[in-house]
Amino acid sequence: MLTRKIFIAGNWKMNPGTSEQAKALAKAVREGVGSASEVEVALGAPAIFLSAVSESLNDSPIGLAGQNMHWAKDGAYTGETSASMLLDSGCTHVILGHSERRHGMGETDEQVNRKLKSALEAGLYPIVCIGETLEERESDRTESVVAGQLTGSLAGLSPEEMNKVVLAYEPVWAIGTGRTATPGQAQDVHAFIRRTLAARFGEKTALIVKIQYGGSVKPDNAEELLGCPDIDGALVGGASLKASDFLGIIEAGRKVSVAR
Ligand code: PEP
């Protein structure tokens, strides 16, 4: 049986306020993680702090993620960041299609798809976020919304390309609200996503692709969520801003990995 390594990624969003604070946070996570390799870890820092954070993570197993990028290689795109700029700043990963971009900035599946292809071409590992709103869940549309996001965001990818993509299922109603999906609710959607991947890319790819859960993950709910068979990690917002909380979630991931 194939075992997917647990992957815990932090999404700092537009935090912390200074590069010194960003470096200190990265250093604290780095010291806490040490050289442990049971769990894959990455930090998603604001674009302006990526180089500084990269220096703090130097020689550690921790990956570094941009929180967004443009699909173009270069050109007249004021305020944007390209995949090669992220790589140059030390990134290994990039978060794409976060709900705060989809719902706050009107980012579409088609744009996510263009960014995804550009990230893969550049050699970045993309973390593609999908998830339904409360209204969509309450009107029983969770599966159709998630299926539509998968179809649009992953359009045109080969199974080989898909093997490099991480998905993050993040119900919009659980992000930053303190309201977490129950392990049962999350597992049901993760299993649906994996079945959808199997139908589209084949069984082998469906077994390789990691699906993180995101939405108010904390040290005290992480172990139960990560213990679900189709939940392969977490994308963590608020709790990634406090090293001890983030390290608590990583420790939950380590416990689950050892038991798997
Ligand atoms: C996120 O930003 O992706 C997220 C899941 O945030 P939080 O953990 O704060 O809900």
Ligand 1 center–CA 12 separation, angstroms: 9
User: In which domain, by residue range, is 208 found?
Assistant: 7-54+61-259
Give a yes or no: residue 1 inside a domain: no
Contact between 23 and 56 under an 8 Å Cβ cutoff? The reply is yes
Question: Which residue's C-alpha comes closest to atom 3 of ligand 1?
Answer: 237
Tell me, what's the pLDDT at 259? 84
Nearest residue to 86 via CA among 102, 104, 65: 65
Residue of minimum CA distance from atom 1 in ligand 1 = 237
Atom of ligand 1 nearest to the CA of 236: 8
In a domain? residue 218: yes
Q: Specify if 96 maps to a domain.
A: yes
Contacts of 163 by beta carbon, 8 Å cutoff, 6+ apart: 205, 208, 209
Active site residues: 98, 170
Give residue 1's pLDDT.
55
pLDDT tens sequence across 218-250 = 999 999 999 999 999 999 999 999 999 999 999
| Backbone angle region of 123, left / alpha / beta, with phi > 0 → left and psi within -120 to 50 → alpha | left
> Helix, strand, or coil here: 11?
strand
Rg (CA), the chain: 17
pLDDT at 260: 81
Atom of ligand 1 at shortest range from CA of 239: 8
Q: What is the pLDDT of residue 2?
A: 60
Residue 174 gets which letter from DSSP?
Answer: G
Residue 205 falls inside a structural domain: yes
Main-chain phi, psi angles of 66, to 5 degrees: -75, 160
131: left (phi over 0), alpha (psi -120 to 50) or beta: left
pLDDT of residue 167: 98
Is there a domain that residue 143 lies in? yes
Look at residue 2 and tell me if it is in a domain.
Answer: no
Q: What is the CATH number of the domain that holds 228?
A: 3.20.20.70
**Tens digits of residue pLDDT in 8-17:** 999 999 999 9
Tell me which residues of the chain have a pLDDT lower than 70: 1-2
Domain count of the fold of the chain = 1
Residue 111 lies in a domain: yes
Q: Is residue 204 part of a domain?
A: yes
* Nearest-atom index, ligand 1, CA of 100: 2
- Residue ranges around ligand 1 (CB below 6 Å): 11, 13, 170, 175-176, 214-217, 235-239
